[in-house]
Every structure is written in C-alpha cells, then in structure tokens.
Amino acid sequence: MLQAIRDRAQGWIAWVIIGIIILVFALFGIEQYAQGDKSVDVAEVNGESIGSGEFLTLYNAQKQRLQQQFGDMYDTVVKDEDLRNQVLDALIESKLIEQWADSQKMVISDPQLAAAIQSAPVFQEEGKFSDKVYKEILSRNGFSVARFEHEQRQFLLENQFNNLLMSSSFATDAEVSQLAELQAQQREINYIRVDQRPFMDQVTVSEQQVAEYFEAHKADYIESEKVKVDYIDLSQQQIAKNIAVTDDAIEAFYNQNKSLFTTPEKRQASHILIRTQEGEESEQKALEKINEIKTKLDAGEDFAELAKTYSEDPGSALSGGELGSFEQGMMVPEFDQAVFSMQAGTISEPIKTEFGYHLIKLEKIQPQSVKPLADIRDQVVAEYRNQEAEKKYYDLLDQMNTMVYEQPDTLQPAADALGLKVQSSEFFGRHGGVDELTSNPKVSQAAFSDDVLKSKLNSTAIELGDNRAVVLRINTYQEERQKALSEVADEIKQQLLREAAVAESSKLADSLLAKVQQGESPESLMNSGVEWHTVGWVGRDSKNILPQMLAEVFKIKKPQKGESVWHKYQLQTGDSVLIQLKGVKSQELTAQQRDNLKNAYLELNGNAELAARLNALKATADIEKLKVYQTLK
C-alpha cells in the first residue's frame, strides 16, 4: 500500500496545485500570516510544539471568515470555545501528518515546490511567474524566502498526504453493483401537503405571551457595542490614476525596463521516461531499457511511437511524450540543463533525474523576444504609473502618519494636505462589519483600542496590504444595550404566531394521516390549505418534487406488494406532507452512470480512509493541549 501511495505521488509535471498557497493569502493576507509570537506553546504532539503564532494566525483567519458570513449574528451562532478547539485540532492533525510523512520519507522536492510557487497568481505578472514580484511581496510583508518556502513545503506535504490517501481507495464490482441498484431505484409516490400559512389567521398571540417570551430570552436581544468611524484612505492604486505621463517618460521607462516586456526563450520538447525504484537492480534494469530504446531511435524508429509504447510518464506517454513549451528553470535541474543545451531536432543521450532515465527530443526553440513599445504602450503606461505611485505612496504614508500624530484630534488637515476625503463607515462591532473595510480585523482592533475609543485619538496608519493604508477615529460610539420589548415585540409576535400555526397544521396532518391509513380517499379530504399531489415514479435525481422531500421518500420502508405506506414529514417551511409510497422498482444504469457512481464511491471511501488514518495517528500519539490557547488574543 505504501509503495502504491508513493508511486501515485510522483508524476512528470503532473502536479495539480490545489491552491493552498493562494488560500494563505486569500484568507487573511500574507502580512497577517507573518505575524504572531511563537514563544508560547499551545500544544505538544509527540514532543513537538505548536506555537501561539501558528494558532492565532489560523484562529483569526477562520474567525474573520465566519464574521463575514454571519455578520451581526456571529456572537449567537459561533461559540469562541468551539472555534478555538477546532483550530487547535486542525493544527494537531497537520503536525501528525507532518510527522507521519517524515517517518515514511515523503518529501516535497525543490522542483515540486518551485512549480507550486510559480503557479500562484499572486506572484505572477501577465500570467507568468516573476521572481522580482515574488521577493518584493515576501520582503514587504516580513517574510524571508527561506521561511516562506519552508511553510509552503509543509502545506504541500499535507495536501499530498490527503490526496494520496484519497487516491488509494477502491471499489469492488459487487459494491458498485449494489450501489447501482440503489441509485437506479425508482419509487411511485403521491402526497398531501398541509400548508401552515392559513393557520396564521386562526391563531392568536397575546401581549402577555410576547412579554413572557421576551423575559425568558432576553439574552437573544442584546445589541453589542458598536462604533462608526471617520477615516482617510490612502492607496497606491488611487495614486497611480493621478500620475501624469509624457511620451518621453514612457519611452525612457520602456528602455530602462525592457526585461519587464521581454518574452523569455522557450523550448518545446518531448521525452521518454523509464522510472527507477530504490535499489541497484532497478537502476540497472532502467538504464538497460532506456539504452535499448535509444538504439531503436538511432535506427530511425519514430520517437512519438516509442514514447507511446515504452514511456512510463502517464502524463505524456499517450501524446507521444509531448511536454509542451517551457522556460528555463521550470524543470528539474538535470532535465533543464540538457534541454537548454540541445539543438532543435536532436535527441539526447539518457539523462538521469530523480524520476528515472529520460530520452529527450528537442522539437522547437522559441527565441527570446522584446515586445515593441507601440504594441504594448497601455501596459507600459500602467507599469510606469504603478512604479511611480509606489514611490509616492511611501512618501505620502510618512506624511499621513506624521500629520495624524501631530494633530491627533482631527483627520481633516491630513486629508487636505494629501488630497483625500474624510469618509464615514457604517456601524460595526468588535468582530467587524460586513463591508470590505470594516470586516478587516485590523480595522476593528484599531477602532476598539484604548487610544482610539477611550482617548478619542486618531489611529496610526493601518496597512491593509497591496500598498493601502487607512487612518481612523471614532465618529460615534454606541454602548452594548438590552433592546427594549417595544423594539422586538413585532418580531417575537411573528415568530410565536408562526410556531403556533405550524403546530396547528401538524395536528391537522396527524388527523389526516389517521384517516388515509384507515382507507379514506385522499381526494375526499381536501380543504383550504390542504392539497393533493399525484406525482408517479421518481428517481434520486428527479426535479418534480422538493429535494428535501425526495431524500425522505427514499428513506421510507418498502410497502408490501399491492399495498401503500403513508409517512408524515415536516418541510423546512413548516408545512407538513403525508407521503404515499405505492411501489418500488429498479432499472439498469448506463455505463457512464456506473462510472460516475464508482467515482463518487471512491471519493467517499477516500474520505473515510483519510478520517480513519487521522484517527489512528491521534490514538497512538502523545498529545497535550495547553490551556493557554483558550485565552490567547
């Protein structure tokens, strides 16, 4: 099994990057990821510690995501204790995966790491990886290249662990056949629907009931403290729009920065790969086989046909070994060096890499080319403005910081000097708001800091990433307060009326169920708010009834031949339905449907295997959670 997993882990340029690098930035920004004091341990796993920096990074990211999702309902929906436990458990699982992978000598190679980083859009210009952009972003956000690449290697290793366990699952023909029978099953149904809405006019709720409910649930009607802030917003993007350009400046910039507008040399190649396994015998057999293929090539046999027959690279063999076009530095070093020292149309001698032995055919050379200024003037102008704006941004940021510090009780002088407008936010709480600005944890933290909230001072510049910063001050503060009954009485009354209506409609459904089970005709029972629906045969993917009801239909016990089964079910709307199941039959799935079903089953098995492996690792591990994680801020 382990060897099978390792085999599946390797692939010649067959890396599928799931997006974990992008996710790190998308969730909470690279600069936030770089923060955190790691001097405090929050847990130990088999003697290895998990630091508070790791914990707070993931905790704050998840918290921010949930705050954006639930808004003002966050405090009532999410329990902080549960969130902290989930985050710590995730970090513990990550550590266990790292330790297991290390024990099995699973690694992320340098070429694999490079491919992952180069594929991340955040490090690209015009769809291509830029080493300059890469290093600038890391430097700007407090990351060393070594530290960042170490972290990404761990992310990729964990992702590889997950994918490999998922891919090792299997399904027998008997299992697929059994699933196919269930999947293809059809059921004949009709149903009665009892609408709860007519009962809204028949039930009553007194003021006393509303008041009693309010008294019993006061905690549900507390409005958290909120602030509205004034702020000035400085961004490189906005500055760039106001940068003046001249033809001379653009031409000079183009000539000084031609590397930015140069398409690097690319080479198009094909290859034949014979894999090697551990051990001298495997190495020797692979070398003998690759030499035999080289002899066939020297004798004039077609490279593409030999690749289809012999190559052990599943990603390219079927296409005759074609690898497409690539720039220098994208392949493993030995392969890269060989390709970029060859002449077009030639075939290499056997080349040894970590994957095995290769024979390479260089199909075509696409030389380096510089794009003419006339063709890309808009692009050059945009780049010129961006670079000029970046220089100006840092000067203006220093000015803004100085002015809001020297005049701490107003933003207007700084706004006037920098050509900015003082803007006002909507109200938001300690957990942030719902718009882009106030949902940022840095903004809510600054707004509720003692200097800003209690001392009524301007904040310092809050850097939001992408060369954007804001300074804010309190406009209005609203204390936490208990809402008055008068504010929520209508809301409570409607809730109680609906609950009463649902209860009455459910009672009616119970009485109707008893009658049809005794043999009365459903059609004879129709009344206001009671509907009879004849449906007929349905499958698991039928669209003519509600999905939630369809799922319930396939849970009902099969009826005896010639009989019907009645079943009561409550919809999410509060309506009750009485489902009549009249019959069950099966039909054959098409070959495509069976394949789809098998793939779904494999995914289900893979998830189960992943969960089982993690549970097994936890069961044998020495894990200690330190209570400090429950109070870290």
**Number of domains within the chain:** 4
- Considering the domain architecture, whether residues 431 and 569 belong to the same structural domain is answered as no
Q: Enumerate the β-bridge partners of residue 186.
A: 585
Q: What is the pLDDT of residue 218?
A: 93
Residue 487: per-residue pLDDT: 94
Query: Residue 146's pLDDT is what?
Result: 75
Predicted local distance difference test score (pLDDT) of residue 1: 24
Residue 621 belongs to some domain of the structure: yes
CATH number for position 310: 3.10.50.40
How far apart, in whole angstroms, are the C-alpha atoms of residue 174 and residue 182?
A: 13
Residues 154, 58 share a domain: yes
Q: Looking at the predicted structure, is the pLDDT value of residue 66 above 90?
A: no
Mean pLDDT of the chain: 83
pLDDT at 33 over 50: no
Q: Which residues contact 456 (CB under 8 A, 6 or more apart)?
A: 409, 473, 474
Q: Is 254 a member of any domain?
A: no
Res. 169 pLDDT band, cuts 50 70 90? low
Statement to judge: residues 32 and 120 lie in one domain: yes
* Cα 30 from Cα 140, distance rounded (Å): 10
> Looking at the structure, do residues 308 and 389 belong to the same domain, yes or no?
no
N-to-C CA span, the chain: 43
Q: Is the domain of 448 the same as that of 525?
A: no
For 274-290, what is each residue's pLDDT tens digit? 998 877 788 899 999 99
**Amino acid sitting at position 251:** E
Domain containing 405 — which CATH number?
3.10.50
Report residue 178 as tokens. 């059994």
Domain edge (last residue) among 367, 398, 430: 367
Do 415 and 390 share a structural domain? yes
- Say if residues 243 and 475 touch (Cβ distance below 8 Å): no
Reference 462, options 484, 434, 443, 490; nearest CA is 443
Residue 377 lies in a domain: no
Two structure tokens written together for 445: 């933290």
Tell me how far apart the alpha carbons of residues 505 and 447 are, in angstroms, rounded to a whole number.
49
Residue 216 falls inside a structural domain:
no
Of the CA atoms within 13 Å of residue 499, those in its CB half-sphere come to: 10
How deeply is 346 buried, as exposed, middle or buried, from its count of CB atoms within 10 A (0-12, 13-18, 19+)?
exposed
Whether 13 and 160 share a structural domain: yes
Q: Is residue 114 part of a domain?
A: yes
pLDDT of residue 149: 80
604 versus 378: the higher-pLDDT residue is 378
- Average pLDDT rounded to a whole number, residues 512-518: 94
Residue 5 has pLDDT above 50, yes or no: no
Q: Please check whether residue 519 is in contact with residue 232, taking contact to mean a CB–CB distance below 8 angstroms.
A: no
Q: Detail the DSSP E strand segments found in 411-505.
A: 423-424, 462-463, 468-478, 481-482
How do strand 124-125 and strand 530-538 relate by DSSP bridges? unpaired
Residue 523 DSSP code: G
Give which of 574, 566, 238, 198 is closest to 423, Cα–Cα: 238
533 contacts 526 by C-beta, under 8 angstroms: no
Is residue 257 one of the residues assigned to a domain?
Answer: no
Tell whether the model's pLDDT for residue 70 goes beyond 70. Answer: yes
β partners of residue 129: 124
Calculate what percentage of the chain has a pLDDT beyond 70: 85
The structure tokens listed for 119 are 């594929």
Please check whether residue 256 lies inside any domain of the structure.
Answer: no
Residue 308 has pLDDT above 80, yes or no: yes
Q: What CATH number is attached to the domain comprising 32?
A: 1.10.4030.10
pLDDT in tens, 427-466: 999 888 888 899 888 999 999 999 999 999 999 999 988 8
**CA 548 centroid distance within chain:** 27
Q: Does position 31 have pLDDT exceeding 50, yes or no?
A: no
Residue partners of 242: CB distance under 8 A and separation at least 6: none
Query: Does residue 9 surpass a pLDDT of 50?
Result: no
Q: What is the pTM of this model?
A: 0.49
What per-residue confidence (pLDDT) applies to 183?
65
Closest CA to 391 of 258, 259, 253: 253
Lowest mean pLDDT among 173-187, 304-318, 524-538, 550-564: 173-187
Instruction: Tell me, yes or no, whether 444 and 466 share the same domain.
Output: yes
Shared domain for 472 and 410, answered yes or no, is yes
Nearest 5 degrees, angle CA 583-CA 588-CA 593? 120
Length of the chain: 633
- pLDDT band at 232; cut points 50, 70, 90: very high
- Other beta carbons within 10 Å of 51: 17
Confidence grade of residue 326 (pLDDT, cut at 50, 70, 90): confident
Structural domain including 128 reads: 2-173+601-630
Q: How many helices (H) and strands (E) does the chain have?
A: 22, 21
- Residue 565 domain-assigned? yes
Q: Which residues contact 206 (CB under 8 A, 6 or more apart)?
A: none
Is 22 a residue whose pLDDT tops 60?
no
Residue 418 and residue 493 share a domain = no
Q: How many CA atoms lie within 13 A of 395 on its CB side?
A: 8
pLDDT value, residue 27: 36
Helical H runs in 204-348? Answer: 207-216, 236-241, 247-256, 280-298, 303-310, 333-339
Name the least confident of 514-528, 551-565, 592-606.
592-606
For 32, 33, 85, 342, 438, the CA distances from 61, given in Å and listed in that order, are 9, 9, 14, 49, 15
508 with 435, same domain? no
b (16+ CB within 10 A) / e for 454-479:
eeebbbbbbbbbebbbbbbbbeebee
Q: 136: pLDDT confidence band, cut at 50, 70 and 90?
A: confident
Domain boundary among 479, 510, 531: 479
The structure tokens listed for 147 are 């530290």
Higher pLDDT: 121 or 206? It is 206
Among 161, 109, 108, 133, smallest CA distance to 25 is for 133
| 217 three-state secondary structure | coil
Give pLDDT, residue 114: 83
Q: Are residues 490 and 474 in the same domain?
A: no
Domain boundary among 338, 367, 396: 367
pLDDT of residue 631: 67
pLDDT of residue 95: 86
For Cα atoms 53, 55, 59, give the angle at the middle one, nearest 5 degrees: 120
